[in-house]
Amino acid sequence: MSAPKYVAIITDGNGRWAQARGLPVIEGHRAGADVVKARLRDAVDLGIEELTVFSFSTENWSRSEEEVSGLMAMFGERILGETPELDEEGVRMRFIGRREGVAADLVERMEWAEAKTAANARLALFIAFNYGGRAEIVDAARNFQGSSEEEFRRHLYAPDMHDPDLLIRTSGEQRISNYLLWQCAYSELVFAEEMWPDFDRPAFERALTTFADRRRRFGGR
């Protein structure tokens, strides 16, 4: 099997990484955000065309107010500070998820980042923010009146996003946690032991090699 073109990642383990080092949880998220940026550049080098990362789920609102407010502030800072750089590197940014309930100023920054990078074609970066796989299916079903899977797909948050060839989850956990339920129906799954802030390029390449060693049948033989 050749290398995957479309990769999704559950960037798990930021909090545990920070706690193991006696650091505030937000420092784990900051380290994790740095790793997203680094692996994004690796993805370009490795021929990946679309990268989807799980940054904040619909269930994450249940975390402490301190952690959630810290994450919201960090997301805003990162979008504002890194979008021009990603734009120069040819990355197209898209945010998928519910925008209701998200602070208006953060939504404005997300929309600004999407508009600024809309013409880029080197790599598409989909950021799952306030995202839940079941929520996406429910939201799509509200407007669906057709009869085919392809028609249903047009109502998903990003119908132009390809189904991931490969889904990677870090931190040793072995579940998909309500992530891209529709899109990952036939994705290959790789569960890496590293906490996300420790997920370096060699770990990324090992996951891609694992994918390449498999045979995808899609229900056939």
pLDDT digits (tens, 9 = 90+) for 140-191: 999 999 889 999 999 999 999 999 999 999 999 999 999 999 999 999 999 9
pLDDT band of 16, cuts 50, 70, 90: very high
**Nearest-angstrom CA–CA distance, 124 and 133:** 20
Query: Do residues 11 and 32 make contact, with C-beta atoms less than 8 angstroms apart?
Result: yes
**Nearest-angstrom CA–CA distance, 45 and 25:** 31
Q: Is residue 42 among the annotated active site residues?
A: no
Return the bridge partners of 188, or none: 166
pLDDT > 90? residue 219: no
Query: Considering 42, 60, 139, 178, which one is annotated as catalytic?
Result: 60
Phi, psi torsion values for 92, nearest 5 degrees = -95, 125
Query: Considering 12, 14, 130, 165, which one is annotated as catalytic?
Result: 12
Query: Do residues 152 and 140 make contact, with C-beta atoms less than 8 angstroms apart?
Result: yes
According to the CATH classification, is domain 6-212 in 3.30.360.10?
Answer: no
Return the bridge partners of 92, or none: 124
Q: Is residue 200 among the annotated active site residues?
A: no
The model carries a pTM of 0.94
For 190, residues 6+ apart whose C-beta sits below 8 A from its C-beta are 166, 167, 168, 169, 207, 210, 211
Query: Do residues 122 and 86 make contact, with C-beta atoms less than 8 angstroms apart?
Result: no
